[in-house]
Amino acid sequence: MKKYTYMAFACIVLAGCQTTSMDQVMETSGSQVQTRQIQTRAFDTTNNTKTLRTIIATLQDLGFVIDKADDELGTVSGTKLDGYSLRMTVTVRPRGKKQTLIRANATYNVTPVVDPQPYQQFFTALQKSMFLTAHEVD
Amino acid sequence: MKRTLPICIFSLAMFSLVACVQTIPKEALQLTKESFELRQLQTRSYDTAHEKKLLVAGAGVLQDLGYNIDESETKLGVIVGSKDRDATEAGQVAGAILIAALGGGSVPIDKNQKIRASIITYPTGKKTTKLRVTFQRIVWNTQGQVSKTQSIEDPLIYQDFFNKLSKAVFLEANEI
């Protein structure tokens, strides 16, 4: 009898991973506000194109191959392959008259990156190339 | 025995739980000494203010090498290309035959690969433009599974690319 209890327990744990895979479509990893906070920084510049070029150079420094870039829309995507696949999209948009908001989101293999640390590392690398400080955004 | 069974099941359950969570390696988004060595390897500076012409020459080299252009954004100096190629290696084939001969059954070997390249240009002065190229590849085996995902860091490959680019810049300047 006990054996079955354990087996049932194991099955429940297994099922705990995911119920319906279609749930992933609208799946979020945290609150919208929190996610944005982790992924976004403000920089004191208004030059969109130059910012995008610097983002591209930083991604290349970090070992990414660029997938696509759009100056008008202000987006850049890239993929890093190193025994894993790390996909990143970075977007740029003006904030007020003096600042630019940069937001990055990353996917590691098939999992969204929710840990704040990798984003912090990315912005640290970026601010070195930008010669500007990354400000946290509320 | 009575005691070990629950432990076994519990560890199996824990293992399956762990399998669900994948975490990003700590160094994935960190600049290292190696990143700067790679930058040097993958970048050349050209005495021209014509960024667009340099980009076109880069696209020409990709075509010379059989790549198809996937994406481009001239305003940001970006060209992305890829090609699908055979990935069979003689050594792996020989190994698979040997294992089969010894009765080890069939072993999957590398079959196809997708090679991707991105070329980025950026003006660095009034008369100089830099160009950086990066390559990576994904390899699939005979069972259709991904067997390798890697950045290409072989210096010879980059030297070869820039030799071809110099030639292309010359050919295009002379309209050949």
Q: How many domains does chain B have?
A: 1
pLDDT of residue B70: 96
Q: Specify the pLDDT at position B69.
A: 96
Between A47 and B175, where is the model more confident? Answer: A47
Q: Tell me if B6 is assigned to some domain.
A: no
Check if the interface score ipTM surpasses 0.85: no
Q: Is residue B13 part of a domain?
A: no
User: What's phi and psi for A19, nearest 5 deg?
Assistant: -95, -65
- pLDDT score at A134: 87
pLDDT tens for chain B, 176 residues long, are: 456 666 656 665 555 555 556 789 988 999 999 999 999 999 999 998 999 999 999 999 999 999 999 999 999 999 999 999 999 999 999 999 999 888 888 889 999 999 999 999 999 988 999 999 999 999 999 999 999 999 999 999 999 999 999 999 887 777 65
Number of neighbours of residue B37 by Cβ within 10 angstroms? 12
Region of B121 (left: φ > 0; alpha: ψ -120 to 50; beta: rest) is beta
CB A78, CB A88: distance < 8 Å: yes
The separation between CA A120 and the C-alpha centre of its own chain, rounded to angstroms, equals: 10
- What does the DSSP 8-state code read for residue A133? P
Out of A68-72, A133-137, B69-73, pick the least confident: A133-137
| The two structure tokens encoding residue A44 | 């004191």
CATH number of the domain at B149, please.
3.30.310
Residue linked to tokens 């008259």: A97
B68 contact partners, CB below 8 Å, separation of at least 6: B81, B82, B83
- Per the document, the length of chain A is 138
- Selected residue of B4, B24, B36, B129 to mutate for chain A interface (largest A Cβ count, 10 A): B24
DSSP alpha helices (H): ranges in chain B?
Answer: 4-20, 33-42, 51-64, 90-101, 155-173
pTM of the complete model:
0.83
Q: Which of A125, A121, A115 is nearest to A34 (CA)?
A: A115
**Left if phi > 0, otherwise alpha if psi is -120 to 50, otherwise beta: which for B153?**
alpha
Domain boundaries, chain A: 30-136
Using the predicted structure, report yes or no on whether residue A3 has a pLDDT greater than 90: no
Work out the pLDDT band at A63, boundaries 50, 70, 90: very high
Q: Is residue B34 part of a domain?
A: no
pLDDT score at A9? 64
What CATH number should be reported for the domain whose range is A30-136? 3.30.310.80
Q: Which domain holds residue B66?
A: 45-173
Is B158 among the domain residues? yes
Give the C-alpha distances (Å, rounded to integers) separating B22 from A91, A107, B18, B170. 25, 11, 8, 48
Give which of A52, A55, A50, A51 is closest to A70, Cα–Cα: A52
Residues of A with CB below 8 A from B12's CB? 10
d(CA A6, CA B6): 6
Q: Using CB atoms and an 8 Å cut-off, which of residues 51-90 of chain A contact chain B?
A: 52-53, 56-57, 60-72, 76, 78-86
Smallest CA–CA distance, residue B134 to chain A, in Å, is: 6
Taking only the tens place, the pLDDT of each residue in A4-40 is 766 666 655 565 566 788 888 888 877 888 899 999 9
Question: Between residues 14 and 33 of chain B, which touch chain A (CB distance below 8 Å)?
Answer: 14, 16-17, 20-26, 28-31
